[in-house]
Amino acid sequence: MSDPTVPDPTVPEPTGSVGFDELYQLNVNGETRDVRDAWVGESLLYVLRERLGLMGSKGACEQGECGSCSVMVDGELVCSCLVMAASAIDQPIVTIEGVAPIGSPSDVQQAFVDAGAVQCGFCTPGLIMATHALLERSAEPSEFEIREELSGNVCRCTGYGRIIEAVQRVSVSRRADAESGIAS
């Protein structure tokens, strides 16, 4: 047995309340949104969810490992848990809520439902964002490319098989739509 633990002297003295005094604007899903009375240390994920009420982006690891919080910032797929909200000022942000109106899912969203790619659904919004980004870059990805490109998004329920199926369905149907468009 050792002596009683001494309190850690490196812990700073409490300095009163968190400074809630920042005011800035974010451009989210095509709208300018005021962020008021914010603490500058808040992540984009926190501000989207807790200050702007956009609960579709999920937090599961806080370190950019799982992709559940994926959003587009200035055209790039990012983990919103790793981006400070105040650093995203003046950059267009697209979240899962901006992908399609409620009740009118995008082709990717509908394919996830139809293919059985959703179980608990917690990883799903991030995967929808990542899949849209993937298919923008590469319209007809190989299975291996899908695996590689989506490997930053962790799903614990599905084992990924039905998600790959969903992505492939979208790729095939977009190609069919494009070809029929050319034909007509």
Partner 1 sequence: MSILSGVRRHDGRLGDSITRPDGTAKVQGSFMFSGDLEAEHCLWGATLRSPHPHARIISIDLSAAWKISGVEAIITAEDVPGQLTYGLISQDQPVFASEVVRYVGEPIAAVAADHPETCRRALQAIVVVYEVLEPLTDPERALDGSHPPIHPDGNLIRHQRIVSGDITATGDVVVEGTYVIGMQDQAFLGLEAALAMPGPGGAGVDLYVATQWLHEDQKQIAACLGLAPEQVRLTLGGVGGAFGAREDISLQVHTCLLALRTGRPVRIQYSREESFLGHVHRHPATIWMRHHATADGHIVKIEARMVFDGGAYASTSSAVLINGVTHTQGPYKCANALVDGYAVRTNNLPCGAMRGFGVVQACFAHEGQMDRLAAACGLDPVEIRLRNAMETGDKLITGQPILNVAPVARCIRETAALPLPDEPVGGHDHDPMRLPGGAGRTADRRHIRRGIGFAVSIKNLMYSEGFDDYATARCRLADGVATLKFATAEVGQGFITIAGQIARSVLGVDDVLLDPIDTDVGSAGSTSASRQTWMSGGAVNAVCMKVRGLMFDSLAAIYGVDASTLSIEGRDIVDATGVFRITVVDATAGLSFDETVEFRHAPTEDLDENGQGNCHTAFAFVAHRAVVDVDPELGLVKVIQVATAQDVGRALNPLSVIGQIEGGIAQGLGLAVMEEIIMSNGRVRNPSFTDYLLPTFLDMPDVVISLIEEPDPIAPLGAKGVGEPPTVSSTPAIVAAIRDAIGKHIDRVPVRPIDIIG
Short-list 86, 91, 63, CA closest to 75: 91
3-state secondary structure of 149: helix
Cα 24 from chain centroid (whole Å): 22
Nearer to partner 1, 84 or 100 (CB): 100
Tokens read off for 176: 């069919």
151 touches partner 1 by CB under 8 A: yes
Tokens read off for 53: 């009420």
Nearer to partner 1, 46 or 88 (CB): 46
Q: Which stretch binds partner 1 (CB under 8 A): 8-16, 26-34, 86-94, 173-181?
A: 8-16
Residue 103 beta carbon to partner 1: minimum distance, rounded to whole angstroms: 8
55 touches partner 1 by CB under 8 A: yes
Q: Which of residues 95-124 bind partner 1 (CB under 8 A)?
A: 95-97, 99-100, 102-103, 105, 109-110, 112-114, 116, 118-124
* Residue written as token pair 């439902």: 113
Mode of pairing for the β-strands spanning 31-38 and 92-94? unpaired
Q: Which of residues 61-100 bind partner 1 (CB under 8 A)?
A: 61-63, 65-66, 68, 95-97, 99-100
Q: Per-residue b/e over 95-132, b at no fewer than 16 CB within 10 Å?
A: bbbbbbeeeeeebbbbbbeebebbeeebbbbbbbbbbb
Q: Which stretch binds partner 1 (CB under 8 A): 2-10, 72-80, 84-92, 168-176?
A: 2-10
26 touches partner 1 by CB under 8 A: no
